[in-house]
Amino acid sequence: MWKAKIVVTYKSGILDPEAKTIQHALGNLGYRHIENVEAGRYFVIDFDASLSKDQAENLTKEMCAKILSNPVIQKYSYNLEEVNS
Amino acid sequence: MKFGVVVFPGSNCEHDAYYVLKKVLSAEVFYIWHKETSLRLFDAIILPGGFSYGDYLRAGAVARFSPVMKEIVEYAKDGGPVLGICNGFQILLEAGLLPGALIANAGLRFLCQDVFLKVGSTDSAFTKTYTEGQVLKMPIAHYHGNYFADEEVLKCLQDEDRIAFQYSSAEGDISEQYNPNGSKLNIAGIFNENKNVLGMMPHPERAAEKILSSEDGLGIFKSLLENN
């Protein structure tokens, strides 16, 4: 069985006010040496045992492009892991 | 003229829009449940504000796949007028009927306040009862109202006269200090290419009676009524 771990973040050049606020808060807490902070959404999707790796990957890409991310402002990355059922 | 007001699970401004059309303007108006798949009866469609599907994932991202949306895309392609208010605007963007996206307000606060809007284009089925440069007072109530589009899209919106409303001062000054949420070019509302789709963050239906301190929103509904 395949498990997709998906991270959706804002594209570079888009000022994410949430990430900026987190960066600011980290600075206020005394954390130095931080150049940039990105914030995003994390999804874990478990596929059933009938899917091959290629099928799972194709579905993951399709879902990311169609609904899990908004391509106008966001980018996505994913990892596929094989898990024992 | 028949108006249709779409209701998604989590919409909460549908009754305000219905009320303005029915009681203030004595128009014919019907609710459309999001599972409907026929819109041919209607002369104009309104996507109201609210929190469709709890704003889960992204505002409008789930509603955009409701059965009625396929019809609305077709309806808009055929030239039917579609007005998206607040969450309705977010849904229209997610559906690709309008360009760009709405992200969290620059100040990371839910904003609930009156704003001034400068009317951009009056050359549309929604804005023809206004005069160019007129300043309107309407409330906003949103967390995700920070309009973003890349430079190319912004230039296109300007060149094609597709900016409907911009946040301004009471005198119509469009500078950054009058931008409540960080929107590019102070954009509060935009049209599609054919100007039969309007998306806007402010609530015209909440500024349609004297008792609500402004009647400036009525012009949009009156413009639509004049089309017939």
Q: Do A18 and B104 touch (CB under 8 A)?
A: yes
pLDDT in tens, B7-48: 999 999 999 999 999 999 999 999 999 999 999 899 999 999
B153 pLDDT more than 80:
yes
Q: Are B136 and B130 in contact (CB under 8 A)?
A: yes
Burial class (CB in 10 A: 0-12, 13-18, 19+), B37: exposed
| Contact residues on chain A for B60, CB-CB shorter than 8 A | none
For chain A (85 residues), the mean pLDDT of every run of 10, in chain order, is 97 88 95 94 97 97 97 96 87
Q: Is B94 on the interface with A (CB under 8 A)?
A: yes
A67 vs B57: CB contact, 8 Å cut-off?
yes
Residue whose C-alpha is closest to residue B203's, from B15, B4, B1:
B15
Nearest Cα to Cα of residue B204 among B21, B30, B44, B11: B21
Query: Does the structure show a pLDDT above 80 at B109?
Result: yes
* Structural domains in chain A plus CATH codes: 2-82 (3.30.1280.10)
- Is B172 in CB contact (< 8 Å) with chain A? no
In the annotation, is B86 catalytic? yes
Nearest residue of chain A to residue B61 (CA atoms): A67
Matching residue, tokens 């600011």: A24
CB within 8 Å: A14 and B65: no
End-to-end alpha-carbon separation of chain A, Å?
6
What's residue B227's pLDDT?
Answer: 76
Is B171 in the active site? no
* CB atoms A16 and B148 under 8 Å: no
Note the ipTM here: 0.86
CA angle (A13, A19, A25) in 5-degree steps: 135
Active-site entry in B13, B86, B94, B144: B86
Record: contact B146-A16, CB cut-off 8 A: no
Burial A60-77 (b: 16+ CB within 10 A, else e): beebbeeebbbebbbebe
Q: What are the residue ranges spanned by the domains of chain B?
A: 2-226
Domain B2-226 belongs in CATH node 3.30.300.30: no
pLDDT at B106 over 90: yes
Q: Which of B93, B108, B148 sits opposite A14 (nearest CB)?
A: B148
The CA dihedral of B121, B175, B185, B123, to the nearest 10 degrees, is: 0
